[in-house]
């Protein structure tokens, strides 16, 4: 379990905190998506959590171990994948994995076997004799995943893990993250790719200008209170626009009308629209509602937060 | 594998380490060869023993290269890694930042010490086989100890500065400035200062100027044995402790309070 409590991180006295009073919990077996614009504070939160930089205030605990007060104990429980992996360039991947495993007290034989297994798993088995300076960004990302898994930790901090990966890599990582979840691990997954977050995360935390704007369950995205109504009319004319514009903002394309910004109305409005159109002799061939996606919800949320 | 052994292996097998070691060995051998050729007779006709000439030459060669190697070890195995974020992948392992800093410091000092030891041992073999004398054991011991102190200072100062500057280029520039000021042009600078302030006792001033420069630590140490210039053992020990402890302690402090 990852517990971030009232975390604040300032880089300078005069500047706005990069992260301000942020509290999050990632439960065991849960994927928490972490969404925000560039500079929102996602990477800073992950770097503080990983023990790379110190928090200005607040704490981060992994299964009860504080990353500042008990750095060694907490770090044993973390797998970290950075946004832009940067490793010692003149070393071969397996040697570096064995080096990292040494910090976890894993024997050379065990770490060598596990390292080979992981490098094969992440698709680098054909590149074991190359030094890391010869690796592409995508290969480094795959290597950083192997490095994160070397000690089989309970908690993962994944910072923009999908950036720099090819479609096959994205699918592999998505499946891997879901397998972590099945194993009961806690995953904090930061990403710009909102559709990817939407497809794997159990909850999504939206951060803007260092502050947590809101956390939403993936299931709740279907009932965020925001939706559009699509109406199909077989005999459309200007009168349809006049009727529908009473309910919200209307966009028309042939016989298809999309009504958005239905503030203050619930999904029951479709019956009302249907009745009114039929009473005016229009032939309604279809009418349905659609919830806004994460992207629309995200932009609306950070708009609220600004 | 123990991470410290891995770091030590990595630094000793690095191109910079091997290149400087080869240069030290080649230069020392070349100087030994020429000393043998000129048979130890100076231009003024005073007989200078081959042994003293050879030992002095080795001390001068190591005196130039040991600081460079110390600076490079501190730069490549801590400073550059820290400033290019390479160290972050180590910082997320179950180890504290202080321990990483200290282990890289120890590895850097050991690597430099190993280079000094190899050079001295090989040159002793050279002296035995080619010049028919063996280096005095106390000379070897004091020289190696002095080079460990110099290594500690130069590795430590690079680690310290890595917590002050923001880019590898800035750190590399400082490395060059330190080397030029403390190693290459120090005597010239001291002579200019002497010319400018005209101190009452020039030899005392020169000695003091050597004591405040860690590059000359091996020279100061050798005075204890040769008694060429009077210097107390306590002064040498105190200077050695300062050069060994102060830079790395300041680096530890900065590492503790800064990200």
pLDDT at B3: 81
Token pair for A219: 């299931």
Find the chain A residues whose C-beta atoms sit closer than 8 A to any C-beta of B. 47, 50-54, 71-73, 75-76, 78, 80, 82, 84-91, 95, 98-100, 102-104, 108, 111, 144, 147
pLDDT at B251: 96
The answer to whether the CB atoms of A75 and B93 lie below 8 A apart is yes
How many residues in chain B? 259
pLDDT at A153: 96
- Could you say which of 3.20.20.140, 1.10.1760.20, 3.40.50.300, 2.60.40.10 is the CATH number of the domain covering A2-217? 3.40.50.300
Residue A206 near residue A212 (C-beta atoms within 8 A)? yes
Residue A303 near residue A208 (C-beta atoms within 8 A)? no
Residue A291 near residue A222 (C-beta atoms within 8 A)? yes
Q: Yes or no: is domain A222-305 CATH 3.40.50.1110?
A: no
Other CB atoms within 10 A of residue A13 CB: 5
Contacts of A161 (CB under 8 A, 6+ apart): A81, A141, A145, A173, A177, A189, A191
Angle CA A266–A270–A273, to nearest 5: 120
pLDDT at A306: 47
Q: Distance (Å, rounded) from C-alpha B211 to C-alpha B74?
A: 23
Residue A150 near residue A59 (C-beta atoms within 8 A)? no
Residue A202 near residue A30 (C-beta atoms within 8 A)? yes
Q: Distance (Å, rounded) from C-alpha B175 to C-alpha B235?
A: 27
pLDDT at A267 over 50: yes
Of B196, B194, B197, residue with least CA distance to B207 = B194
Taking contacts as CB-CB distances below 8 angstroms, the residues of chain B near A43 are none
Average pLDDT over residues A56-71: 96
Q: Distance (Å, rounded) from C-alpha B15 to C-alpha B104?
A: 18
Least confident of A63-77, A199-213, A225-239, B152-166: A225-239
Token pair for B251: 């680096």
pLDDT at A68: 95
pLDDT at A218: 77
Interface test with chain B among A44, A46, A49, A51, by most B beta carbons within 10 Å? A51
* Residue B133 DSSP SS3: coil
Of B258, B34, B24, B3, residue with least CA distance to B131 = B34
Q: Where are the domains of chain A?
A: 2-217, 222-305
The answer to whether the CB atoms of A104 and B94 lie below 8 A apart is yes
Average pLDDT over residues A215-229: 73
pLDDT band at A292 (very low <50, low <70, confident <90, very high): low
Q: Provide DSSP, A55-109.
A: -SEEEEEETTEETTTTHHHHHTTEEEE-SS----TTS-HHHHHHHHHHHTT--HH
pLDDT at A264: 65
pLDDT at A270 over 90: no
Token pair for B197: 């302030």
Q: Distance (Å, rounded) from C-alpha B153 to C-alpha B204?
A: 24
pLDDT at A183: 95
pLDDT at A263: 62
pLDDT at A16: 87
Q: Which residue has the higher pLDDT, B40 or A150?
A: A150
Residue B93 near residue A71 (C-beta atoms within 8 A)? no
Angle CA A276–A283–A273, to nearest 5: 25
pLDDT at B90: 95
Q: Distance (Å, rounded) from C-alpha B152 to C-alpha A114?
A: 37
pLDDT at A144: 95
Other CB atoms within 10 A of residue B162 CB: 27
Q: Mean pLDDT per 10-residue run, chain B (259 residues)?
A: 82 90 92 78 55 84 92 94 94 94 95 92 88 83 90 96 95 94 89 87 83 88 76 88 95 91
Find the chain B residues whose C-beta atoms sit closer than 8 A to any C-beta of A. 1-3, 6, 10, 14, 81, 84-86, 88-97, 259
Q: Which residue has the higher pLDDT, B1 or A258?
A: A258
pLDDT at B32: 85
Average pLDDT over residues A291-302: 72
3-state helix vs strand vs coil in chain A, percent to 5? 40, 25, 35
pLDDT at A113: 95
C-alpha distances out from residue A296 to A86, A125, A192, A282, B69, Å: 34, 41, 14, 31, 58
């Amino acid at each position: 379990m990852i517990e971030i409590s009232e975390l604040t991180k300032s880089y300078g006295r005069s500047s706005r905190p990069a992260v301000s009073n942020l509290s999050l919990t990632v439960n065991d077996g849960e994927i928490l998506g972490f969404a925000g614009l560039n500079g929102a504070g996602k990477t800073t939160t992950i770097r503080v959590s990983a023990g790379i930089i110190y928090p200005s205030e607040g704490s981060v605990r992994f299964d009860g171990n504080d990353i500042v007060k008990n750095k060694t104990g907490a770090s044993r429980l973390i797998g970290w994948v950075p946004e832009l992996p940067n490793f010692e360039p003149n070393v071969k991947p397996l040697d570096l994995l064995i080096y990292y495993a040494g910090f976890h007290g894993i024997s050379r034989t065990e770490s060598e076997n596990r390292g080979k297994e992981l490098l094969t798993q992440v698709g680098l088995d054909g590149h074991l004799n190359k030094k890391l300076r010869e690796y592409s960004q995508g290969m480094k990302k795959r290597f950083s995943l192997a490095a994160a898994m070397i000690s089989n930790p309970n908690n993962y901090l994944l910072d923009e893990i999908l950036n720099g990966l090819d479609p096959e890599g994205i699918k592999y990582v998505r499946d891997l993250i879901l397998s972590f979840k099945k194993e009961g691990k806690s995953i904090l997954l930061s990403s710009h790719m909102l559709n990817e977050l939407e497809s794997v995360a159990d909850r999504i935390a939206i951060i803007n200008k260092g502050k947590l704007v809101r956390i939403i369950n993936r299931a709740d995205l279907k009932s965020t209170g925001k939706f559009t109504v699509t109406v199909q009319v077989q005999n459309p004319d200007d009168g349809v626009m006049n009727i529908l514009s009473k309910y919200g903002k209307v966009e028309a394309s042939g016989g298809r009308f999309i009504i958005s910004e239905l503030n203050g109305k619930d999904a029951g409005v479709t019956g009302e629209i249907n009745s009114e159109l039929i009473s005016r002799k229009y032939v309604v061939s279809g009418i349905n509602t659609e919830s806004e996606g994460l992207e629309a919800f995200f932009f609306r949320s950070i708009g609220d937060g600004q | 594998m123990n991470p410290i052994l891995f770091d030590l292996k990595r630094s000793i097998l690095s191109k910079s380490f091997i290149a400087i070691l080869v240069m030290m060995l080649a230069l020392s051998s070349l100087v030994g060869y020429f000393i043998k050729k000129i048979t130890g007779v100076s231009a003024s006709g005073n007989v200078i023993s081959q042994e003293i000439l050879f030992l002095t030459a080795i001390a001068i060669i190591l005196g130039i290269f040991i600081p460079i190697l110390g600076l490079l070890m501190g730069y490549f195995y801590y400073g550059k890694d820290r400033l290019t974020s390479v160290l972050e992948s180590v910082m997320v392992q179950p180890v504290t930042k202080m321990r990483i800093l200290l282990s890289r410091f120890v590895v850097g000092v050991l690597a430099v010490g190993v280079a000094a030891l190899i050079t001295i041992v090989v040159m002793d073999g050279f002296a035995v086989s080619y010049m028919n004398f063996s280096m005095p054991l106390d000379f070897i011991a004091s020289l190696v100890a002095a080079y460990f102190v110099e290594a500690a200072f130069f590795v430590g100062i690079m680690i310290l500065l890595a917590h002050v500057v923001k880019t590898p280029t800035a750190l590399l520039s400082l490395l060059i400035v330190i080397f030029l000021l403390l190693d290459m042009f120090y005597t010239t600078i001291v002579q200019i200062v002497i010319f400018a302030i005209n101190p009452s006792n020039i030899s005392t001033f020169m000695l003091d100027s050597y004591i405040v420069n860690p590059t000359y630590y091996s020279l100061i140490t050798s005075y204890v044995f040769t008694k060429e210039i009077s210097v107390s053992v306590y002064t040498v020990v105190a200077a050695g402790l300062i050069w060994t402890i102060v830079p790395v302690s300041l680096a530890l402090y900065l590492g503790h309070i800064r990200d």
